[in-house]
Structure 1
């Protein structure tokens, strides 16, 4: 069966809708990378990424997935004599667990119920009780839509002298993120979230404390040798063939963000999230997280409503893609992204599609939603 390329409305938290002007750049011939022109482009990309990370320190450019950047961070910055505390609130907290297990990094978990946020006090207590010197979190746990308070957690990390690593893959450019001000030592971002680009690029921002860890015990890896990347980037290059076409798209996207201002980009996400949530008052959904990201909204369905059936019907009948959930949340929760090239008119289309599907399901009390 051929892949369906008919126009659809995409509300998934990655890949996200790409602006037509950026898509047009992706349709051009990818450039050869070993040139002075490409080095100039790379330097400008690094400067643009420092802006979105809000850091004055280095940023490594990887042609790889977000999970690859997380793994590169575990391999490069963490050692067998470290002890990490992992805040595990869902799929991507579990990703840190899986990576530490695979690479024999000792750890303890602070496990959270779906949609719950960890208090700084609970994190501090766990760090002290377990004698941890590393803290691994997700700024936004994308599986449940919950936004952690990285600023306050960073205060704890700074006070205790803990090495602080943040997966901000689905948070940066959608929610405020101030790497330097919040005492984050390592932060991770990927191209397919609020940057609204194709998948394939990930970025690791690291401060001097992190670089010291790299130098003290270089990782036994070739492709993920971050010191090699830092050395090559001094001349505007990376060690191995990059996704040059996506680099070109990224370069323009970062210019666009700088042109309108990072604050305006954040406000766009916040405005869309608020608009969508304002339309839900008569629907049989509850917002799952106690503290939501502007990147997306995770919705808990009423007991009688199967979320997976709703997701499938939206796709089949309306060409609308929202994100399903997995595991025990599969039939309970679905997720709606506010990232990428999205407008209030797109949200209106989604709301009408939701209304139509729920009326078809003959869901109780839904007639009033049609009014």
Structure 2
């Protein structure tokens, strides 16, 4: 999107499965108006180091933009971490059908937006601000999605935001312990594993495992993307996912691996490890 609008974009790349290369970012950030990043990378299960990136951006005098569509459920503090713009949407972390997006902006980012020439109707923040004064939008919104979002937000508030984040953390750790007991490894860098999606190394068999879980046990997961499309299995544990979902998914994974002859774990080892963790960390 930045390139479409004529920005001179410098990409700071990392290997798949690893977080942002902070040293490379420090060496590239001078003179940058914006540092933009994805918080939670669903293709690799990596939770990028957003606080460190925001700190580097702030020191360089750059605005920090964060895509946090799939990261909701992980700890995230926009103001205290120094993030200027957060973009999210109804799907994924908010457990609502797709159809609406949201932008939160710092005062610094709003000042910058006000001074920037407007190049489109859709991305004109001033139009949205003006409409909001009348509790409206510049054009017809996705009414049905907004109603669904209200229900989802009511559920989150009823649960409590802190407990909502803790539930994601406990579910993720239970799942990680389950796959470790099965002899499987995460694709993501150690210490940067997401609490909303896990990517598991299953070399050469990921699509077969995903298809078996779907066809035999009606559990939907996804194979990897790009060059890792058959080497990584991706499992989401965000939104309304609970202990029953984690245990069911681990059971289907164990049975599928055994059926197609991948791995040497005995049935029940992954589920037992997850349940053991839940027994001392109830949610």
TM-score (norm 1): 0.68
SS of residue matched to 2:179: coil
> Hey, what does 1:163 align to over in structure 2?
63
Q: CA deviation at 1:330?
A: 0.4
Offset from partner CA, 1:17-47 (integer Å, 9 cap, x none)? xxxxxxxxxxxxxxxxxxxxxxxxxxxxxxx
Q: CA deviation at 1:364?
A: 4.8
Instruction: Return the match for 2:197 from 296, 301, 306.
Output: 296
> Hey, what does 2:15 align to over in structure 1?
113
Offset from partner CA, 1:289-317 (integer Å, 9 cap, x none)? 1111101111111x4x4101111111111
Query: Does the C-alpha gap of structure 1 residues 242 and 364 become closer, same or farther in structure 2, counting only changes over 3 Å?
Result: closer
| Equivalence map 1:170-189=2 (5 Å) | 170-172=70-72, 174-189=73-88
Offset from partner CA, 1:242-277 (integer Å, 9 cap, x none)? 111221222232233233321111011111111111
The number of aligned residues is 267
Q: CA deviation at 1:211?
A: 1.5
Q: Is the 1:193–1:339 contact (alpha carbons within 8 Å) kept by the matching residues of 2?
A: yes
Instruction: Return the match for 1:250 from 149, 154, 166.
Output: 149
> Hey, what does 2:272 align to over in structure 1?
none
Distance in 2 between residues matched to 1:161 and 1:316, nearest whole Å: 52
Instruction: Return the match for 1:216 from 115, 140, 143.
Output: 115
> Hey, what does 1:42 align to over in structure 2?
none
Q: Aligned pair 1:190/2:103, yes or no?
A: no
> Hey, what does 2:24 align to over in structure 1?
122
Which one scores higher on RCO, CA 8 angstroms, separation ≥ 6? 1
SS of residue matched to 2:66: strand
Offset from partner CA, 1:114-153 (integer Å, 9 cap, x none)? 111125443222213xx32310101111111111121122
Offset from partner CA, 1:344-369 (integer Å, 9 cap, x none)? 12222111211211111123524x34
Identify the structure with the greater strand proportion. Answer: 1
Distance in 1 between residues matched to 2:225 and 2:53, nearest whole Å: 28
Instruction: Return the match for 2:5 from 74, 87, 103.
Output: 103
Q: Is the 2:183–2:263 contact (alpha carbons within 8 Å) kept by the matching residues of 1?
A: no
Q: Is the 1:218–1:225 contact (alpha carbons within 8 Å) kept by the matching residues of 2?
A: no
Q: CA deviation at 1:187?
A: 0.5
> Hey, what does 1:148 align to over in structure 2?
48
Q: CA deviation at 1:284?
A: 4.6
> Hey, what does 1:353 align to over in structure 2?
252
Distance in 2 between residues matched to 1:294 and 1:176, nearest whole Å: 9
Q: Is the 2:223–2:231 contact (alpha carbons within 8 Å) kept by the matching residues of 1?
A: no
Distance in 2 between residues matched to 1:313 and 1:225, nearest whole Å: 46
Offset from partner CA, 1:86-133 (integer Å, 9 cap, x none)? xxxxxxxxxxxxx233222101111110111125443222213xx323
Distance in 2 between residues matched to 1:357 and 1:256, nearest whole Å: 33
| Equivalence map 1:1-371=2 (5 Å) | 99-128=1-30, 131-172=31-72, 174-290=73-189, 291-301=192-202, 303=203, 305-366=204-265, 368-369=266-267
Distance in 2 between residues matched to 1:115 and 1:177, nearest whole Å: 21
Distance in 1 between residues matched to 2:82 and 2:69, nearest whole Å: 17
> Which consecutive residues of structure 1, in runs of 5 or more, have no partner in the other structure?
1-98
Query: Does the C-alpha gap of structure 1 residues 164 and 364 become closer, same or farther in structure 2, counting only changes over 3 Å?
Result: closer
